[in-house]
Amino acid sequence: MVKSTRHAKYELYYHIVFVPKYRRSHLTGKTKERLETIFAEICEDKGLELAESEVMPDHVHLFIGSPPKNAPSLIVNWVKGISARKYNQRYDDRVKWTRSYYVGTAGSASKGAVEQYITEQGGSDA
pLDDT tens digits for range 15-49 = 999 999 987 788 999 999 999 999 999 999 999 99
In total, how many domains does the chain have? Answer: 1
Minimum mean pLDDT range among 23-32, 87-96, 102-111: 102-111
- The answer as to whether 2 is a domain residue is no
Residue 73 is part of which domain span? 10-106
Minimum mean pLDDT range among 26-30, 66-70, 87-91, 106-110: 106-110
- The answer as to whether 114 is a domain residue is no
CATH number of the domain to which 94 belongs: 3.30.70.1290
- The answer as to whether 17 is a domain residue is yes
- The answer as to whether 116 is a domain residue is no
Q: Which amino acid is at 42?
A: I
Instruction: Give the separation between CA 75 and CA 30, rounded to whole angstroms.
Output: 25
- The answer as to whether 43 is a domain residue is yes
- The answer as to whether 123 is a domain residue is no
Contact criterion met (CB below 8 Å) for 64 and 51? yes
The DSSP letter of residue 20 is B
DSSP per-residue string spanning 22-33: GG-S---HHHHH
- The answer as to whether 38 is a domain residue is yes
pTM: 0.84
Q: In the predicted model, is pLDDT for residue 112 greater than 80?
A: no
- The answer as to whether 102 is a domain residue is yes
